[in-house]
Amino acid sequence: MMTDTPDLILWNPIARRRRSPSDDFLDNGLAILKAFLAEQGFEVEVIDWARSNQWDKMTPRLLAVINRFLASRLLSSRDSQSKTGRMVSRLVSPLFILTQDLMSAVQKYFQNKMIRELAEYVRDSGCRVVGIKTWYGETYLAAKYFARLVRKLAPEILIVAGGPHPTTYREAVLEDGVFDLAVAGEGERALEGILSLAGRIQSKDKLLNEISRVAGLSSLKNIIYRQNGKVEVSPPENTDANRKVIPVYDNLEGKTWVHVIVDSLGCPWGRCNFCTHSRTYRKYSVRRPESVVDEIEQMVSRGIGIFRFAGSSTRLSHACRIAELIEQRGIRIFFSMFARVESRAAEQHVYEKLVGSYRQLLRSGFRSVFLGAESGNDTVNELVMNKGVMLKDIVATVKAMREASAIEGLPLDIGISLIYPAPTMGKISLGQLKAENIRLVEQVNPDSVLVSPPAPFPGSSWFNDKDRFGFELGESFVRKMLEYDYVLYKPLFLWPEIDMKLEGLSLRKIFEECGSLRKTLEDKGFVTEVTDVQFLMMRNAGYAGKEGVLTFKNQTQLAILSCDYRWIDSLQARVNLASMAQASINKS
Ligand code: B12
C-alpha cells in the first residue's frame, strides 16, 4: 500500500466466491483510470481485490476440501442413472447444502472483516475521494457495506460509485443514499473534474453542491447526482476511443496475465432490443489501429502475450486492420474477441471476403471468438431481438470461420450465444423456438454454446417497451436486479424469485426452461457455458481438443462449487507462464 496521501483510492470489490476462472484478469478499466489521472497530476491508489489470493483469504481450506469431496460425489451421482447413484445423491445433497451454508457464513465473516479493515485504511489514508467499481449481486452488496462504513468512519470522504453498474442502472444506484455520486460510462474526465474540485473545496457538503451545480450546467459529463431531492444524470460524453490512454498495472500478484485491450467502444449495430451497450457509448468509435498495436507492443514488452479485445462487437474490417499491423510489425500474440454475425454472409462474394478476413485474423493470433446468435428462428431474431441477421447468416459466418481455420491450419474455438426462453410475441411457441435453437446448434456445430435467460435491462427496448415484449416487471424489479447474483452452476431451487415474468413464466420457470435447453444440448454432445476467454485460458494452459474443454469445464465446476480453488490457481499459473513465454518470443 502507498505512503503518500492519495487523491483517490479506487477499489474493485469481489463476491465471496469465484464465479469463473477469468474473474481475475488484469482490470484494464481501473488501470486506465489510474494512468489517465496520473497524467493530470493526481495520485491514485488502486486496490483490486479480484486476485486469486483474495478468494483464498476468505475460504477455510479444510472446509473447501470437504466441500470438494461432497461436490464430486454429487456431480458423479447426478450423471448416473443407477439406483445407487440416486441414493448417493439423496444422501449427499443435504450434507452438501449444510457445508455450503457453513462456507458462506465463514466467508461472509472474513469478507466483512476485510471490508472493515479496508474502510479503516481509507479513513487513515487522508484521501478525500474513494471510488468503487461496482458490479452485480454480492459484489454490489459488498460495495454498499463498504460505503456505509466509510460514511460512518470518515464522513468527509466523498464516495463515488462507477463501472458497469451505474453505467447500466444509472439513477437506481443513488436511490438508497449509500453513495454520494455515481459515474455512468467512462470515468476519466468525470473523476478528473471531481478531483479538481475536491482539491479546492474542503467540506464534503460544499463539494457535493458544487459538483451538482457544475453537472447541472452540463460542464461535467456522465455524472449521476442528487439535486433538490431528485436524482439527475448529466449529459453523456461524446464517445471517442482514441482518447484512451495505455493502462498502468502496478501489481500483478494473483492476476491472470491477459490484457483486455480497448479496440473500439460501443457497437457498430447498436439496435438489439435486449442490449444496453449503445446507451453506454452513444456511438461506435474505433481506436486507431496504430494505437491499439502500440499498446499491444507495450504489454508484450512487460511480459504479457495474451489479449482479449474489449469491443462489444468489433467490426470485422477494423479487426483486420489491427491484424494487418500486427503481422506487419511481426508481433506474435494470441487473442480473442466478440464478433458480429455478418449479414448476407451466405452470398458468395461476401462469404469469400469473410474467409479472407478470418484468415488474416488467424495469422495474427486470433484463437477464439464469441458470436451473438440469439436464436435459431428468423421471426424471433427480427421482431424480438432486432439483431439484423438471419439464420442463414449465422450458419454461413461460422462456416467461413471454419474454412479460414482449415486453410491456415490454425485452430479457432467458436462459441455462439443464445437467449432462451425469449419473448415470442405470439408468433411461435416456446417448444418450437427451442427446437429451432437446437437445429441451429446442430447446423453450426460450435465449440461452445452459451444459453442465457432473458433480462430486460433498464434502457433496453425490452425494458422500455416491456408490454409489447411480454415482460411483467414489478415495482421492485430494478432494485432487485442490482443485487441479483447470477451464478452458473447454482441449483435451481436456490435461485431467489424476482418481480419479473415473461409471457406468464416466473423467473424460476425461466431458469428451468433455460437449463432444459442447456441440458438437451449437453445430452447431444455439445459443450455449453464455456466462453472465448475461457478457451484462451485452457488452450494456453495445454488443454487440447474437446477432451480438454470437458476437463476444463468439470474441474472449473468442481472448484467453483466447492471453493477449493487449487485447480484454478494452478491453471492461472500455467496461463501466466504461457502469456510470458508468448511475450518473450517477440524479444528474440
Ligand atoms: C472484457 C470484459 C470482461 C473481461 C475483463 C474485465 C475487465 N478487465 O474489466 C472478463 C472476461 C474478465 C470479464 C469478467 C466479468 N464480466 Co465482463 N465484460 C467485459 C466487456 C466485454 C469489456 C470491458 C472493458 O474492457 N471495457 C473497457 C474498459 C476501459 O471499461 P471499464 O472496465 O468498464 O472501465 C471504464 C468505466 O466503467 C469507468 N469505471 C470503471 N471503474 C470505475 C470506478 C469508478 C469509481 C468510476 C468513477 C468509474 C469507473 O471508467 C473506466 C474507464 O473508462 C464488458 C462489456 C463492454 N463492452 O463494456 C463486459 C461487462 C463489463 N462484464 C460484465 C460482467 C457481468 C462480468 C462478470 C461479472 C461475469 C461473470 N464472471 O460472472 C465478470 C466480473 C469480473 C470481475 N472482475 O469481477 C457485465 C457487467 C454488468 C454489470 N452491471 O455488472 C458487462 C457490461 C457485460 C454485459 N453483461 O453486458 N469481463
Q: With a 6 A CB cut-off, is 50 part of the ligand 1 pocket? A: yes
DSSP code for 243: G
- The number of the ligand 1 atom at minimal distance from the alpha carbon of 280 is 58
Q: What is the pLDDT along the chain (588 residues), one digit of tens a residue?
A: 555 899 999 999 999 999 999 999 999 999 999 999 999 999 999 999 999 999 999 999 999 999 999 888 887 776 666 777 677 777 778 888 888 889 999 999 999 999 999 999 999 999 999 999 999 889 999 999 999 999 999 999 999 999 999 999 999 999 989 999 999 999 999 999 999 999 999 999 999 999 999 999 999 999 999 998 899 999 999 989 999 999 999 899 999 999 999 999 999 888 999 998 877 887 899 999 999 999 999 999 999 999 999 998 899 999 999 999 999 999 999 999 999 999 999 999 999 999 999 999 999 999 999 999 999 999 999 999 999 999 999 999 999 999 999 999 999 999 999 999 999 999 999 999 999 999 999 999 999 999 999 999 999 999 999 999 999 999 999 988 888 877 666 666 667 778 899 999 999 899 999 999 999 999 999 999 999 999 999 999 999 999 999 999 999 999 998 999 999 999 999 999 999 999 999 976
For 130: left if phi > 0, alpha if psi spans -120 to 50, otherwise beta; the answer is: beta
Q: With a 6 A CB cut-off, is 485 part of the ligand 1 pocket? A: no
Cα(546) to centroid(ligand 1), Å: 29
Tell me the C-alpha to C-alpha distance, in Å, between residue 86 and each of 78, 79, 92, 97, 492. Answer: 7, 9, 10, 17, 18
Nearest CA to ligand 1 atom 91: 23
DSSP code for 155: T
Nearest CA to ligand 1 atom 1: 310
Ligand 1 pocket test, candidate residues 14, 22, 188, 312, most atoms within 8 A of CB: 22
Tell me the torsion sign for CA atoms 73, 77, 82, 88.
positive
Q: With a 6 A CB cut-off, is 187 part of the ligand 1 pocket? A: yes
- Fold classification of 257-467+527-540 is TIM Barrel (3.20.20)
Q: What are the residues whose beta carbons fall under 8 Å from the beta carbon of 372, sequence distance 6 or more? A: 272, 313, 338, 340, 341, 387, 416, 417
Q: With a 6 A CB cut-off, is 133 part of the ligand 1 pocket? A: yes
Distance of alpha carbon 380 from alpha carbon 390, whole angstroms: 10
Q: With a 6 A CB cut-off, is 312 part of the ligand 1 pocket? A: yes
Nearest to 515 by CA among 495, 536, 542, 533: 495
Q: Could you please report the per-residue DSSP string of 487-511? A: -TT--GGGSPP-SEEETTEEHHHHH
Q: What are the residues whose beta carbons fall under 8 Å from the beta carbon of 370, sequence distance 6 or more? A: 336, 337, 338, 339, 415, 416, 417, 450, 531, 532
| Radius of gyration from C-alpha coordinates of the chain | 24
Pairing, β 181-183 against β 223-227:
antiparallel
Q: What are the residues whose beta carbons fall under 8 Å from the beta carbon of 494, sequence distance 6 or more? A: none
Nearest CA to ligand 1 atom 13: 23
